[in-house]
Amino acid sequence: MPNQGRFWGSKATGLLVALLLSSVASASVEHPAVPGEFVVKLKDTKNLQPNLTQLSAQLGGKVVRLLSEQSSAVLLKRDPLERTDFVLKSVGENPAVEYVEPNYIYTIDTVPNDPKLGELWGLINTGQADSGGSRGVAQVDVDAERAWDISTGSKDIVVAVIDTGVDYRISELAPNMWTNAAELNGQAGVDDDGNGFVDDKYGYDFANKDGDPMDDHGHGSHCSGTIGAKGNDGSGLVGVAWDVSIMGIKFLTAQGGGSLADAISSIDYATKMGANIMSNSWGGGGYSQALEESIQRAHDAGIVFIAAAGNSSMNNDVSPTYPATYSVPNIISVAAIDNKGQLASFSNYGKTTVHVGAPGVNVLSTTPSGYQSWSGTSMATPHVSGVAAILLAHEKLTNVELKERLMATTKPISGLRSRAVAGLVNAYHALNNTTPPPDMEDPFNWAQQSYQLSTNHPYADGFSQSWTVTVAGATKIAIYFSKFDTEAGYDKVTFKDATGAVVGVWSGNRDESFSPTVLGDTMIITMTSDGSVNNYGFDIAAVAYK
């Protein structure tokens, strides 16, 4: 369902269904939106408040509120039975209106697993098994252990977690919560700091329009734990940043969904309140000019916007996922990898639009219900946000300089080659501003020989066939696919070693990629298809070996 949003996590239910946006001019009714609600950008908002009634009449509905002072946009309610295209045209033609968009719905980006305690392989990978029982490859991690000798973060760095909220009662998160001193020490029910929000002690809840961003889902707390669970305190787990200030901003509900209007308000709030980093593990819908403009305002304020690439196994170069694929200079789009360094089966990718990768499979972190291991680009994004936090604590950089540093110092790995602009985020090399050495476990760096093998194009229904590839005397081999395209989730290619042990299963698109590595000189490749959609299949062009 590529046009529906997710948290870059679990799916929303009820009204709140999709977190990817659409533009005004190209708005599509296929993208989920709140019925009868529209975001209207006004040409002039001077003296707006006294004229809400007049503006409501002018726009043929009820103007509920100004989204933020920065946006110059209002939330308009019309009759839910009206056709969306009619409202877009009629309101858009009003001389007071710059543009109008449906109030799109967004959702979070995780794929929750059964709760299991496991190792924090994303921070330090020694080859241990993750919570799903899969043994990893050593040093496929963000290189946190060496980085911590240089920087463990600072409370001066504020990371706005724009999500389902943050449970600030969790013992590992409480010490690292951002606090609004004026409200914390002020009077209940009073806007003590005059910022337009009452009792926003730890952030704000735009989903329920109150000052308490308490997490009633778990997603935002899970992301927060990876960013900044308190370190070196002798208990629980640790985030990438031992010390940081986590600003809790809730616009996604307990069901995991939120609206375009509330997303804009959330971003503008974080900008207004001085965040350095915004961590965004959500997406959905199509292009929205209003959302892009709010991210641009964050960029203009010097804030980096880190966003999940999405969990639809899609190529973002071809089918953009928002907000990760907006062309605003402060955005860092993040793909997910597993503990072997392979692109996660669910992760979106893009040779030109996805910037970096990070651990996103069976990631253990904090939730209101205890420690849980979840998967998704939602889980990859906070790894990058945490690395950004310890880097900013160590060195003063602009948001663009920060993005460039993180990309220039990534570790090149096979699973992200041709899948992203750069490689696996590396905290140690980012802090030292050095380039990681070549990964000698990457088949790209091995000897190679031509090897031609192809399926039929397209392959047949109910197809099942095995091939054996051997390089005499090799200790390791991997296959290079010049093209690989199967029906995602249904038609699969399984890779086995000579004993029949499975080393990997692929589905979807993996063009220009090396297969998982097998030990020994023999690989067995088996492809199976179901009885429905038939895609291209694959072309093997070479085999790499050591």
pLDDT, one tens digit per residue, over 231-253 is: 888 778 999 999 999 999 999 99
H or E, element range at 467: strand 464-470
Is the predicted pLDDT of residue 111 greater than 70, yes or no? no
Pair 249, 153 in one domain: yes
**Among residues 10, 130, 141, 219, which one is catalytic?**
219
Q: Is 126 left (phi over 0), alpha (psi -120 to 50) or beta?
A: alpha
CA 251 to chain centre: 16
What is the C-alpha to C-alpha distance for residues 191 and 198, in angstroms, rounded to an integer? 4
What strands, in cross-sheet order, belong to the sheet with 331-337? 203-205, 243-250, 153-163, 277-280, 304-308, 331-337, 356-359
Instruction: Please report the pLDDT score of residue 130 as a whole number.
Output: 86
pTM over 0.95: no
Cβ-based neighbours of 350, under 8 Å, separated by 6 or more = 309, 315, 316, 317, 325, 333, 419, 420
Express each pLDDT in 12-22 by its tens digit.
322 222 222 11
**Among residues 22, 245, 259, 378, which one is catalytic?**
378
Is the predicted pLDDT of residue 26 greater than 60, yes or no? no
CATH of the domain at 417: 3.40.50.200
More confident residue, 322 or 16: 322
**Among residues 109, 141, 143, 163, which one is catalytic?**
163
Pair 485, 344 in one domain: no
Express each pLDDT in 203-217 by its tens digit.
999 999 999 999 999
Pair 208, 245 in one domain: yes
Please state the φ and ψ torsions of residue 386, each to the nearest 5 degrees. Answer: -65, -45
Pair 329, 447 in one domain: no
CA 469 to chain centre: 37
Is the predicted pLDDT of residue 166 greater than 60, yes or no? yes
Pair 188, 307 in one domain: yes
Residue 113: band (very low, low, confident or very high) from pLDDT cuts 50, 70, 90: very low
Residue 49: band (very low, low, confident or very high) from pLDDT cuts 50, 70, 90: low
What is the C-alpha to C-alpha distance for residues 464 and 505, in angstroms, rounded to an integer? 14
**Residue 444: strand, helix, or coil:** helix
DSSP 357-408: EEE-SSEEEEETTEEEEEESHHHHHHHHHHHHHHHHHHS---HHHHHHHHHH
The two three-digit tokens of residue 146, written as one number: 């060496």
Domain count, the chain: 2
Give the closest residue to 374 by CA, choosing from 193, 218, 517: 218
Pair 402, 472 in one domain: no
CATH of the domain at 495: 2.60.120.290
Is the predicted pLDDT of residue 23 greater than 90, yes or no? no
Is the predicted pLDDT of residue 494 greater than 50, yes or no? yes
Domain boundary among 432, 461, 481: 432
Placement of tokens 């249904």 in the chain: 490
What is the C-alpha to C-alpha distance for residues 337 and 361, in angstroms, rounded to an integer? 7
Instruction: Please report the pLDDT score of residue 160 as a whole number.
Output: 98
Number of H helices and E strands in the chain, helices first, is 10, 25
Residue 217 bears catalytic tag: no
Measured from the Cβ of residue 194, the count of other Cβ atoms closer than 10 Å reads 8
Q: Are 307 and 333 in contact (CB under 8 A)?
A: yes
Give me the domain span that covers residue 522.
Answer: 443-545
Residue 457 bears catalytic tag: no
Residue 331 lies in a domain: yes
Residue 163 bears catalytic tag: yes
